[in-house]
Structure 1
Amino acid sequence: MLLIFFINLMNAQEPTGYEIMKQSLNKTGWQDMQADLELILTNARGETRVRKIVMYSRKRTENESDMLMRFTAPADVRGTSFLVIEHEKGEDERYLYLPALRRIKRIASSGKGGNFMSSDFTYYDIGKPELDDWKYERLEDEKVGDRVCFKISCLPANEQIEKDTGYGKIIRWIDQERLVSLKAVYYDRALREWKTLDIPRVELIGGVWFQTDMIMKDVQTGHQSEMIFKNVKINQNIPAQFFSQRFLQRGK
């Protein structure tokens, strides 16, 4: 399906940066997904901490999806949960449940640039990026390893997006055949290189390409976070109630 889309675009005209990103973000062939995750945090001295997570995700519509992440280990974060409810129009909803406080906290727009659970991923990074938050320019194609990629420059659509995310620019490399991101470089609001994202593993699961290993490194501090996906399953008919504030807090 992705290859056919690419061939059709190439036959018609060279795809724009916007068209490439839209197809990459809205890949078809799955309705829901569940996986076990390991989040490995490594500081500049090489010391590591490992956190384990179960994740559930589903598409409500072509352009809207929900995601729930629940921490299962270690003990100090067990039960902490994060819920994202995406809206095609209007502000996405992001909620964090902290069991020690027994309360749900809504992440405001101004907090989307904060670090997710002490990792190098921000709250904005977790979940699907908002397509219309960015202005896209297609740059000269480049290879990542042996994969030919579209290279896309992403600039904030407005000053508020830049302020909320903390990103002044993102450069993405999108695999031309599989239409998944293989690499990204993030710049801060002063356009200094801030973080790099490397995708060392992409797997075909149920006919759909998924990124199953992501390494985000803060080049300014030397800290990095690796997110490894295991036991990925798609189209499991995950109940809609999983993606609610009640389930976020009670887990049932």
Structure 2
Amino acid sequence: MLITLQRSLSTKVAAIIILLSTVPQYGILRWPSPMPTIPSSTQPSARRILRTATAHLHAEVDARFAGSFDGSLADYTGFLSAMAAVLLPLERALERASVHMTVPDWDERRRAFLLLDDLQGLGATPPRELDPPSVEGEARQLGVVYVLEGSRIGGKLLLRRALGHPDARVRTATRYLSHGAGRDLWSSFLLRLESSPAVSSAPDEAVAGARAAFALFGDRAGHDRVAHG
């Protein structure tokens, strides 16, 4: 009976060893990789929708403004003037359309007035403002603000360049570029964007707002290039 029991155990151990040897990559002491997480929804995020729909416009604006103040004080003044020509009317239009209802912390985000301070410090006059697009409705407003808030990311690089400029007047006229430093305004805006029922139900309206904002920046940059030949 003992011999029979030993044979039975040997057979079972052999079967277990054969089974383990057929499992790829795992072995006895290695846990299998966790199963991939299945997204709760197949709908892309609002941020992804906006980023994809405006990628070409974003690239065009970046290219047009590239090197805006690598040279003289006049270059930097021109850059601030171009920003003011767009931001002043755009922020004003948003406020007329009650953007405070859409973005409750709007007063902490608005910064066009700082461009006027910087320009005044450089002895420059305010620019001729462009005509703003329609910014009615929550989804469209969030599309516009997506562009304005996203510009802070590139603004960090521009700020470093301005602070390293050889002209002290450029280094001190950085109120606009340094606005919001040390605060994660981008992440808090994305939370508002993704939680918007209006954007979820009408993402095309948000895309329209973002495209209109990028187009306004592009129009001003194109005007400057023509003016300077």
TM-score, shorter chain, exceeding 0.5:
no
Q: Which has the higher helix share?
A: 2
Larger radius of gyration: 2
Normalised by the length of structure 1, the TM-score is 0.25
Per chain length, whose mean CA-contact separation is higher, i.e. which structure has more relative contact order (CA < 8 Å, sep 6+)?
2
